Amino acid sequence: MGNAVAVTEQTFDTEVLKSTEPVLVDFWAAWCGPCRVIAPTVEELAIEYQGRLKVVKVDVDQNQEVAIRYGVQSIPTLMVFKDGKIVERVLGAMPKPRLVSLIQPHLA
């Protein structure tokens, strides 16, 4: 995982909800094929938007309570949080331009 930060149930509130910048959250699992397909794109976004967007990954197998709290029923689920609230939510692997179009409106 390079620039995307691994977040746990213990660090989710601090890293995501209290973040001063928008946060892209990737809910994933190691056994999930589509999660592995989208992982390089998520990592690219972490690099390209560094300083304007925080990118984090939540392993749903290890952090089930966070996944349940946000109604994650299939993975990958990607959410954009801004000021502690969900402003975008999408399911499944998708091309990079689609992800960029989701985060672009929420960047400072």
Tell me 27's DSSP state.
E
Residue spans of beta strands (DSSP E) within 1-108 = 5-6, 23-28, 54-59, 77-82, 85-91
Judge whether 32 counts as a catalytic residue.
Answer: yes
- Using the structure block, give the residue that is written with the tokens 């949080």: 81
Residue identified by tokens 């689609």 is 98
Annotated catalytic residue within 23, 24, 25, 32:
32
Which residue in 35, 46, 56, 79 is the catalytic one? 35
Q: What is the C-alpha separation between 37 and 103, in angstroms, rounded? A: 19
Query: Does the active-site annotation cover 35?
Result: yes
Strands (E), 4-83: 5-6, 23-28, 54-59, 77-82
Active site amino acids: 32, 35
